[in-house]
Amino acid sequence: MDTELRSNFLRTQIQSDLDQGLVDRVVTRFPPEPNGFLHIGHAKSITVNFGLAQQYGGRCNLRFDDTNPEKESQTFIDAIEEDVRWLGYEWQGETRYASSYFGQLFDWAVFLIDTGRAYVCDLSADEARTYRGTLTEPGKNSPYRDRTVAENRTLFEAMRAGEYEDGERVLRAKIDMSSPNINLRDPTLYRIRRVTHHQTGDDWVIYPTYDFAHGQEDAIEGISHSICTLEFEDHKPLYDWFIECLPVPSRPRQYEFARLNVNYTVTSKRKLKLLVDSGAVAGWDDPRMPTIAGMRRRGYSPEALRHFCEEVGTSRSDGVVDVGMLESAVRNDLNVHAPRAMAVLNPLALELTNLAATEILSVANHPADETMGRREVTLSRNIWIDREDFRQEANKKFKRLVVGKRVRLRGGYVIEAERCDVDVHGEVTKVYATVVPQTLGEDPDDGVKAKGVIHWVDQSNAVEAEIRSYDRLFAVSDPSSAEDFDQVINQNSLTTSTAFLEASLAYAVPEARYQFEREGYFIADRYDHSSEQPVFNKVIGLRDTWVTND
């Protein structure tokens, strides 16, 4: 990767395991559930798991933990694969699925029954919650806990054969109902669900739980380091219990790190789905969403996201990262890599009264990178300038165009405003200016310098485009605590307008990024942009405008 690696506790632990001979090769995995699009927290997990495998010359598997088919789909699988590749990573071998191991997991569930460590339970979901106890009170044994091995096996095979209704029976591990760790209070291993699975079809009517399947999948794949976020720390004793009690082919070790929490953002899949379903956003890949697909469509680069994840660091301490840190990473990346172009977002007509013929000017594509080359732009009698760059009268602090004053056109001549037309409402409709001779790349001979530099676009070949200006979706720093999203959504998170772009942008391809000079960074929309109907999304401004807000 292009980011310098920082030391962290995971790298220290892995190096120690290698030095002690506990593992021969580092094998990690990224195991998303295909029940939604990946978000920025997943980007962190991707960089951790794939990055560690790369650093130590190992491999990383992409495995879908598809044990809950009601909420899963092939659409999510396809999107996740694309996100991982877009971030710059490639998994070892074919895509893997928990469902590929359903046969082995069933056999291991039978093994637990045969060794007296699992039983079929008939308690309803509500009854099971009551028997489970609380954080301060122990649970109590199910009345079905002491069924014989033979009875449990017969019942479990009947569950597999589809002889019972959904929810009528479950298979539970027999561990310790008085354990202070609720996860060890006889957790469910299998439940009955008549749902068509996106990979296995109708082959199964019972499905393993995530807790039962996850560790065994790691063992089957020879995962050396099962790296997950801190919310799974309390599940680790159960993870290890299964590994100890089953004849698995390897013994992976689970390590936890703090998940990535960013202010002004939500990463709960349930809440992200609520935004999509309610119509608050246009879909999972809406550029305002913190999904990887959304950030990609917004114009964030994979390099900027990887750099941000590395800069945040990996630790075991929970905290909240300022979204400004992410935006800074994006801005810094684009400042280096985005070619420059001119676009007028708030157009005002200007006539150069003494320009006799159209001229062709040569303009650098990047002021600090000559390797990006130059482009030609035309300058004709009629151009567009930004309305905010003109005043009939202004004080000395206004460094743009004023009647009787001078500015330089970006990459072109110094001009001087003569007069303007004004409509019945007092709004300026057109400006008239003269070109100061011999000022192409030179200061005026009369010593009267331009007050500033403004961008412009030639009207004769300007490209009309739709501009979608995006801002943060939420107006408060902790939207996850809000009871009603409608109360905290930034109502100005999307505005649309029509702009005029320089002619070279007629050839912009989808996902091409530019700095529109003095306006910000923009990207040709991944789906809606075309040469016939250009659409550009605002990635981010040239500077942070949220410093004093919240």
The residues carrying an active-site annotation are 33, 259, 269
Give the number of other CB atoms < 10 A from CB of residue 66. Answer: 27
Secondary structure element (H or E) that encloses residue 83, with its range: helix 74-86
- Nearest C-alpha neighbor of 142 from the set 152, 151, 156, 132: 132
CA distances from 272 to 179, 208, 289, 474, 491 (A): 35, 26, 8, 12, 17
- ∠ CA 480-482-484, nearest 5°, is 120
* Cβ–Cβ < 8 Å for 86, 296: yes
Sequence-separated contacts (24+) of 444-452 with Cβ below 8 Å: 444/406, 444/414, 448/406, 449/406, 450/406, 450/407, 450/408, 450/414, 451/398, 451/399, 451/400, 451/402, 451/405, 451/406, 451/407, 452/399, 452/400, 452/407, 452/408
- Nearest C-alpha neighbor of 51 from the set 334, 336, 328, 313: 313
DSSP-derived secondary structure for 375-419? EEEEE-SEEEEEGGGEESS--TT--SEEBT-EEEETTS-EEEEEE
Tokens 């405003």 correspond to what residue? Answer: 417
DSSP-derived secondary structure for 290-324? SBHHHHHHHT--HHHHHHHHHHH---S----B-HH
The DSSP symbol for 41 reads H
Distance CA 178, CA 173 (A): 14
Neighbouring-strand partners of residue 361: 377
Tokens 């979901």 correspond to what residue? Answer: 125
The residue count of the chain comes to 550
- Nearest C-alpha neighbor of 259 from the set 232, 290, 219: 232
Region for residue 62 given its phi and psi (left: phi exceeds 0; alpha: psi -120 to 50; beta: otherwise): beta
HSE value, Cβ hemisphere, 13 Å, CA-based, for 191 = 17
- ∠ CA 436-438-441, nearest 5°, is 100
